[in-house]
Amino acid sequence: MVITDYLERNARLFGSETALVEISPSEERDNAVTWRDFNLIENANPDAPYRRELSWKDFDRRANRFANLLLSRGLPKGTKVAILLMNCLEWLPIYFGILKAGCIAVPMNFRYSSDEIRYCLDLADVEVLVFGPEFISRMDAIEKELGFLKMMFFVGRNAPAYAEDCLRLTGFCSSSAPPVALNEDDHAAIYFSSGTTGFPKAILHDHRSLNCACMVEQNHHGQTRDDVFLCIPPLYHTGAKMHWFGSLLSGSKAVLLRGVKPEWILRAVTEEKCTIVWLLVPWAQDLLDAVDSGRIDLRDYYLDQWRLMHIGAQPVPPSLIRRWQEKFPHHQYDTNYGLSESIGPGCVHLGVENTHKVGAIGKPGYLWEAKILDESGVEVPQGDVGELAVKGPGVMLCYYKNPEATAEVLKGEWLWTGDMARMDEDGFIYLVDRKKDVVISGGENLYPVQIEDFLRGFDKIKDVAVIGLPDPRLGEIAAAIVEVKEGITCTEAEINEFCKAMPRYKRPKQIIFDRIPRNPTGKIEKPVLREKYCQGRLVEAQITG
């Protein structure tokens, strides 16, 4: 069975039931894309959210139409088709249409600059691009440099001259399933790494990987037909889509919310009766801060049906989960660990039954194995720090067109994650830090995540990132970039006093007050901070040295 079979099954069994809902809060409405056959409600309340929905039958039909459009252009199996869209009701039908045509879906980060768009399209050998109105100015800047593309489709009204109107064209295509045979060994998708060490790498997966993600997600979180999943993170990212795969497998409704304000999240949970919400760390922090400040009163919302909050895509501060459990004591909680190289979330997960182990990322997930290894590939003793490696049916095939990078992380059937971790006596794995983020100060290894977790326990701190700064004597020192809660005054002396509870060698040697930049999946953009704060110190260290 391949993943498109689940969509066809849902259309057959639950055809008239709602599969997807898109909600664009009023402040986001101008960016919303509409199908031509969608009728806007006359005299709608301008302050109300803009809501669209799609049944399972229409979802499948629209996927078939897009697949048949691609096939009508003579595109062979294996053609790479890129998607450059904001989250919208069109996103998943287009993705599944690409797969149904036997093509390879290439989701693109909506934050990419023009140069990054061109780079990734070329790297992945993309021949067809599907993009939306939010990207016109970026496409205008590079469209003459994209001669390697065979065609471009535009999702929206008033297509630019160099692109074809996707919604109009699909209206003329058959809604019947295309005659393309698929199997688990067929290439299915190329995702891009976060690009934290430079331009992104292209990660190739087959249909077996996607199928694995479906089974893992549903096994971990037990989605049933009665569940409603609120999806807020970007669909181009493996995490968001692979969590939604649990809804696909169970035939249950999902809600795409175009916005992250706490009020919008709680309103969507209330009005759509959401039972499962996946949050990123900054959004959970913002929601709790809004409740603590009195800006939000939870009694204004109906939240009784909300059964599970899970979180991931980055290290999760235990202090955040303790705060969450105080405000939402009836919630199940789970944290999920994964990489785009291991088809998103779930290769390691905590499990809803293990909240007593908050702080751990958990144990190997369903269908997965995990080890903690030293540099020679030998398992380290229990409690020691080593590199986390995982093995399972969702491991990537390779970094596309990059055998050197592939060989660095794929060793036999094991994927070396680049994350430093340790395992406790009960077999639970704790992330220590990214291997490349470790700060070596005077010969001591300092793990920024441990320092960050400690500092987040200070009630004046909203967010924090620890990086290494060059130092002529110690090589590096740990610097804490601190974002203070809104409306709160905090001094360096207060933070240093709080840090006295830490071992002296772990205490940050410099405190910098600034905003913490995070990418769309919630990860701290430490390269941005290093570029901002390291360069001057590097010159100073070189002169002093």
Residue 133 pLDDT class (50, 70, 90 cuts): very high
Res. 139: pLDDT tops 60: yes
Report the alpha-carbon distance of residue 402 to residue 408 in Å, rounded. 10
Please state, in angstroms and as integers, the Cα–Cα distance from residue 49 to each residue in 30, 52, 278, 428, following that order.
11, 10, 21, 42
Higher pLDDT, 504 or 458: 458
Higher pLDDT, 22 or 314: 22
Mean pLDDT of the residues in the chain:
87
**The pLDDT of residue 355:** 84
Res. 452: pLDDT tops 80: yes
Residue-wise pLDDT tens digits, 493-545: 999 999 998 878 788 999 999 998 887 666 788 878 888 887 654 434 333 33
**The pLDDT of residue 528:** 84
The answer to whether the beta carbons of residues 3 and 248 sit under 8 Å apart is yes
Q: Tell me: domain 438-544, CATH 3.40.50.970, correct?
A: no
**The pLDDT of residue 30:** 45
3-state SS assignment for residue 236: coil
**The pLDDT of residue 390:** 96
Higher pLDDT, 196 or 336: 336
8: tokens are 């066809």
Report the alpha-carbon distance of residue 357 to residue 347 in Å, rounded. 17
**The pLDDT of residue 450:** 80
The answer to whether the beta carbons of residues 318 and 359 sit under 8 Å apart is yes
Q: Compute the half-sphere exposure of residue 373: CA atoms within 13 Å on the CB side of its CA.
A: 16
Report the alpha-carbon distance of residue 4 to residue 8 in Å, rounded. 7
Q: Tell me: domain 307-434, CATH 2.30.38.10, correct?
A: yes
What residues contact residue 469 under an 8 Å CB cut-off, 6+ apart?
476, 477, 478, 479, 510, 533, 534, 537
**The pLDDT of residue 535:** 62
Higher pLDDT, 456 or 442: 456
Q: Choose from 128-142, 189-203, 333-347, 435-449 the range with maximum mean pLDDT.
A: 128-142
Among the residue ranges 4-18, 127-141, 206-220, 303-317, the one predicted with the least confidence is 303-317
Report the alpha-carbon distance of residue 76 to residue 73 in Å, rounded. 9
Report the alpha-carbon distance of residue 279 to residue 373 in Å, rounded. 30
Among the residue ranges 205-219, 360-374, 385-399, 462-476, the one predicted with the least confidence is 462-476
3-state SS assignment for residue 423: strand
**The pLDDT of residue 137:** 95
**The pLDDT of residue 31:** 45
Domain boundaries, the chain: 3-22+48-211, 307-434, 438-544
What residues contact residue 179 under an 8 Å CB cut-off, 6+ apart?
none
What average pLDDT score do residues 33-55 get?
Answer: 53
Residue 359 pLDDT class (50, 70, 90 cuts): confident
What average pLDDT score do residues 376-391 get?
Answer: 94
* Nearest by Cα to 422 from 474, 460, 379, 485: 379
User: Could you tell me the fold of the domain covering 3-22+48-211?
Assistant: Rossmann fold (3.40.50)
**The pLDDT of residue 26:** 63
**The pLDDT of residue 145:** 95
First to last CA, the chain: 62
145: tokens are 């440099």
What average pLDDT score do residues 144-171 get?
Answer: 95
Residue 49 pLDDT class (50, 70, 90 cuts): low
Report the alpha-carbon distance of residue 428 to residue 287 in Å, rounded. 28
**The pLDDT of residue 62:** 97
Residue-wise pLDDT tens digits, 80-102: 999 999 999 999 999 999 999 99
Residue-wise pLDDT tens digits, 274-315: 999 998 877 888 899 899 999 999 999 999 999 999 887 666
For helices 56-72 and 3-14, give the axis angle rounded to 10 degrees.
130
Q: What are the DSSP E strand ranges found in 46-176? A: 50-55, 80-84, 104-107, 126-131, 151-154, 164-165
The answer to whether the beta carbons of residues 351 and 222 sit under 8 Å apart is no
- Using CA atoms in the order 359, 363, 366, 371, what is the torsion angle rounded to 10 degrees? 130
* Nearest by Cα to 191 from 395, 7, 384: 395
What residues contact residue 161 under an 8 Å CB cut-off, 6+ apart?
none
**The pLDDT of residue 48:** 52
**Torsions phi, psi for 318 (to 5 deg):** -55, -35
Sheet holding 510-513, edge to edge: 461-471, 475-484, 510-513
